[in-house]
Amino acid sequence: MPSESESSGSIVPVPQIEDPEYYPARLLDVLPGPLDDIALSYPESAAARDLSGTVTLLLLIDELGVVVDISVISAEPPGYFEEAAIESFRNVLFRPAQRNGRAVKSRLPVEVTFDARTDSAKP
C-alpha cells in the first residue's frame, strides 16, 4: 500500500551520499591544482652540506580542495628534505578534482626538487 507521501505525489528528498574514495589522477576528468603559489623553503641542514634532492609526496585532497593528508613516497637523499616538502603543502588550498562533472576527493603525487646550486625548491 502506498504511503501518504507517495499517494499525494510529493517527492521525498534523497540525501546525498558522500563518496569515500580518493580517486587517482588517471580516473579524473579534471586534476586538482593549487589556487596560489606554493612557498617552498630550502632546509638549512641541506644548504650547509650543499645538497640537492627530490621528494615525492602523495597528497590526499578532499572535494573542497583541502589537503587532508600528506605522505612521503620517496626522498633522495633521505632525511633532509621531507619535512620541508610536507610543510610547504600542508596549508595549500587546491581547485578540487572533478569526475563526471562533480568535485571529488583525489590522490595527487607531487615531486618537489631542491636545488643546491640555486638554493631553491620547486614542485
The predicted model scores a pTM of 0.80
Residue from 85, 24, 7, 114 nearest 60 by CA:
24
SS3 70: strand
Residue from 73, 78, 85 nearest 109 by CA:
73
Q: Which pLDDT tens digit goes with each residue over 14-37?
A: 556 677 899 999 999 999 999 999
Q: Which pLDDT tens digit goes with each residue over 68-114?
A: 999 999 999 999 999 999 999 999 999 999 999 999 999 999 999 99
Cell digits of residue 94? 587546491
CA–CA distance, 101 with 86 (Å, rounded to integer): 30
Residue from 120, 58, 59, 119 nearest 94 by CA:
59
What local confidence, expressed as pLDDT, does residue 119 receive? 60
Looking at 61-65, 72-76, 117-121, which range is the least confident one? 117-121
Alpha helices in 9-109 (DSSP H): 44-48, 82-89
Superfamily of domain 22-122 in the CATH hierarchy: TonB (3.30.2420.10)
Query: How far is residue 17 from each of residues 66, 74, 86, 101, measured CA to CA in Å?
Result: 19, 35, 31, 16
